[in-house]
Amino acid sequence: MTGLNNSAISFRNLHFRYLETGPATLDDLTLEIPAGQVIAILGPNGAGKTTLLHLLLGYLKPEAGEILIKGNPIKSYHRSQMGKLVGLIPQKETHLLNFSVLDYVLLGRAPYLAPLQMPTRVDVEIAHQALVRLGISDLQDRPLPELSGGEQQIVLAARTLAQDPEVILMDEPTSHLDLSNQSTIIQVMSDLVSRGKTVVFTTHDPNIAATTADHILLMTRGQIHTFGETQQVLTEANLSAIYRTTIRVETIGGQLVVYMPKETA
Amino acid sequence: MDNNNNNKKKRILWIAAGLIALLLISIFVGRYPKPYWMPPATLLTDTLAQKLVVNLRLPRIIAALLLGASLASCGTTLQMIFRNPLVEPGFLGVSQGAAFGAAFSILYLSRSVLVIEISATIFALTGLILSYTLSRRIRYGGWILRLVLAGIAVSALFSAGVGILKYLADPLTELPDITYWMLGGLWAVTWKDLLYVLPLVLPGLAIAFLMRWRMNLLSLEDETSFSLGLAPNRERTLLLVAAVTATAAVTSISGIVGWVGLIIPHIARRLFGTSAQFSLPGAMLLGGIFTLISDDIARSLIAGEIPLGILTSLIGAFLFLYLMTREGA
Contact A33, A198 (CB under 8 A): yes
CA atoms of B326 and B328, how far apart (whole Å): 7
Residue B140 CB coordination number (10 Å): 7
- pLDDT of amino acid A95: 66
Between 3.30.750.210, 1.10.3470.10, 3.40.50.720, 3.90.79.10, what CATH number should domain B64-74+84-324 receive?
1.10.3470.10
Point out the residues of chain B with pLDDT beneath 50: 329
User: Between chains, do A99 and B85 touch, taking CB under 8 Å as contact?
Assistant: no
Count how many Cα atoms sit within 13 Å of the Cα of residue B319 in the half-sphere of its side chain: 17
Helices (H), B255-275: 260-272
List, for residues A139-173, the tens digit of each pLDDT value. 999 999 999 988 999 999 999 999 999 999 999 99
Pick A90's closest partner by Cβ from B83, B223, B269.
B223
Q: At a CB cut-off of 8 Å and minimum separation 6, what does A106 contact? A: A119, A123, A124, A127, A162
Q: At a CB cut-off of 8 Å and minimum separation 6, what does B241 contact? A: B125
Point out the residues of chain A with pLDDT beneath 50: 1-4
CA atoms of B222 and B229, how far apart (whole Å): 11
Q: Which CATH superfamily is domain A4-264 in?
A: P-loop containing nucleotide triphosphate hydrolases (3.40.50.300)
Q: What is the DSSP code (8-state) at residue A262? A: G
- A86 touching chain B per CB within 8 A: yes
For residue B231, what is the nearest residue in chain A, using CA coordinates?
Answer: A79
Query: Which chain A residues are Cβ-neighbours of B323 within 8 angstroms?
Result: none
Select the residue from B6, B80, B228, B272 to test the A interface by mutation, using most A Cβ atoms within 10 A: B228
Domain ranges of chain B: 64-74+84-324
Residue B1 CB coordination number (10 Å): 16
Query: Which chain A residues are Cβ-neighbours of B206 within 8 angstroms?
Result: none
User: Between chains, do B227 and A59 touch, taking CB under 8 Å as contact?
Assistant: yes
- pLDDT of amino acid B329: 47
If you count DSSP H runs as helices and E runs as strands, how many of each does chain A have, helices first?
9, 12
Q: What is the DSSP code (8-state) at residue A21? A: T
Contact A226, A218 (CB under 8 A): yes
Considering only CA atoms, which of B128, B75, B134, B77 is closest in space to residue B101? B128
Contact B124, B63 (CB under 8 A): no
The neighbouring-strand residues paired with A11 are: A31, A67
- pLDDT of amino acid B1: 54
Query: Which chain A residues are Cβ-neighbours of B223 within 8 angstroms?
Result: 54, 57, 59, 88, 90
Considering only CA atoms, which of B298, B114, B289 is closest in space to residue B190? B114
User: Between chains, do B216 and A99 touch, taking CB under 8 Å as contact?
Assistant: yes
User: Between chains, do A57 and B226 touch, taking CB under 8 Å as contact?
Assistant: yes
DSSP track, A173-206:
TTTT--HHHHHHHHHHHHHHHHTT-EEEEEES-H
- The backbone torsions φ and ψ at residue B211, rounded to the nearest 5 degrees and listed phi first, read -95, 20
List, for residues B179-194, the tens digit of each pLDDT value. 878 888 898 899 999 9
Query: Which chain A residues are Cβ-neighbours of B145 within 8 angstroms?
Result: none
Considering only CA atoms, which of A189, A180, A193 is closest in space to residue A209? A189
Count how many Cα atoms sit within 13 Å of the Cα of residue B134 in the half-sphere of its side chain: 20
Q: How close A237 comes to chain B (CA, Å)?
A: 36
